[in-house]
């Protein structure tokens, strides 16, 4: 679904992501674990095209998108839920979702509002409430919903557990797994929350200093001591 080949990117001439190669398989949830500042957000922004690629390539749905603009990549099926969620606080839930639909105009997708409201009944109940007055967990649902109405094939989430109550974080696991199954989505998540990552991932990688340093197999993923050691590199 998504292939990153020797990807290097950063700010100005300073690389943050370095020589990173990774294959994201379709209809799986891939989690990249990494501590603060290792370049997770920089990587996500490079994938969606907000940051240019300095070296290497990005192939999405068998198409080289390395030089494509962010909006073209979005229309081609990349959905993004930014770190901190980035919802519009003064717009209502409904209006926030509408913003997400704009990118869908060219892709001819159906209106996915009803789907979003059925997945997230809490948003349904709050259609006219201002985004800024929602709880952290509700804002996260809204940010996911906004990406979904763009009708993506690949949903990319940057630290979705951040600033969300622990009980709601665990609720997100079946929701994301359900989205993958029901909508046939491929999901890529970067996270620091180990337990959340472990319960979510079909495949899990560790990122450090701008590159992938380990892949954790299923047995390692349940061995949280081992994972903690990886993260303490
Ligand atoms: N706009 C920017 N200009 C220059 N340097 C930046 C910019 N944004 C991030 N950086 C630097 O790039 C490095 C990686 O930052 P990034 O935000 O990708 O890390 P992260 O893994 O997402 O961290 P966190 O877990 O805290 O979100 C850091 O050293 C950071 O200071
Ligand atoms: Mg980040």
Q: For 201-213, how does the pLDDT look when each residue is reduced to its tens digit (9 = 90+)?
A: 999 999 999 999 9
Residue nearest to atom 2 of ligand 1 (CA): 11
Ranges of each domain in the chain = 2-88+152-231
- CB of residue 40 inside a 6 A radius of ligand 1: yes
Residue nearest to atom 29 of ligand 1 (CA): 37
pLDDT digits (tens, 9 = 90+) for 17-29: 999 999 999 999 9
168 pLDDT tier (thresholds 50, 70, 90): confident
* Separation of CA 41 and ligand 2 centre (Å): 4
* Separation of CA 78 and ligand 2 centre (Å): 18
pTM above 0.75, yes or no: yes
Q: Are 220 and 226 in contact (CB under 8 A)?
A: yes
Show Cβ contacts of residue 185 under 8 Å, excluding neighbours closer than 6 positions. 27, 152, 153, 154, 155, 179
Atom of ligand 1 nearest to the CA of 45: 18
- CB of residue 37 inside a 6 A radius of ligand 1: yes
The yes-or-no verdict on residue 171 having pLDDT over 80 is yes
What mean pLDDT is reported for the chain? 89
What is the enclosing helix (H) or strand (E) of 30?
strand 29-33
Write out the two tokens for 71.
């909006």
- CB of residue 178 inside a 6 A radius of ligand 1: no
Q: Which of 134, 160, 135, 136 is nearest to 147 (CA)?
A: 160
Q: What percent of the chain has pLDDT over 70?
A: 91
Query: Starting at the edge strand that comes first in sequence, how are the strands of the sheet with 29-33 ordered?
Result: 78-81, 154-158, 186-191, 29-33, 203-208, 211-216
pLDDT digits (tens, 9 = 90+) for 140-158: 999 999 999 888 999 999 9
Pick the CATH number of 2-88+152-231 from 3.30.360.10, 3.40.50.2300, 3.40.50.12280, 3.40.50.300: 3.40.50.300
Residue 105: its pLDDT value, please?
A: 53
């Amino acid at each position: 679904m998504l292939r990153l080949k020797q990807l290097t990117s950063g700010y100005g001439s300073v690389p943050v992501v370095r020589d990173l190669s990774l294959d994201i398989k379709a209809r799986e949830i891939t989690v990249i674990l990494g501590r603060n500042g290792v370049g997770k957000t920089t990587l996500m922004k490079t994938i969606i095209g907000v940051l240019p690629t300095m070296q290497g390539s990005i192939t999405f749905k068998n198409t080289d998108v390395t030089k494509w603009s962010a909006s073209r990549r979005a229309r081609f099926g990349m959905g993004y839920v930014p770190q901190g969620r980035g919802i519009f606080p003064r717009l209502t839930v409904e209006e926030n979702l509408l913003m997400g639909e704009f990118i869908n105009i060219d892709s001819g997708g159906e209106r996915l509002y009803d789907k979003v409201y059925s997945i997230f009944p809490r948003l349904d109940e709050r259609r006219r409430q201002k985004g800024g007055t929602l709880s952290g967990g509700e804002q996260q649902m809204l940010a996911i919903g906004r990406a979904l109405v763009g009708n993506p094939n690949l949903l990319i989430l940057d630290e979705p557990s951040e600033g969300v109550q622990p009980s709601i974080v665990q609720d997100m696991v079946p929701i994301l797994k359900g989205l993958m199954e029901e909508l046939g989505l491929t999901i890529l998540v970067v996270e620091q929350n180990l337990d959340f990552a472990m319960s979510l991932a079909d495949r899990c990688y560790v990122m450090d200093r701008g590159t992938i340093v380990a892949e954790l197999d299923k047995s390692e993923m349940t061995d949280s001591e081992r994972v903690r050691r990886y993260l303490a590199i």
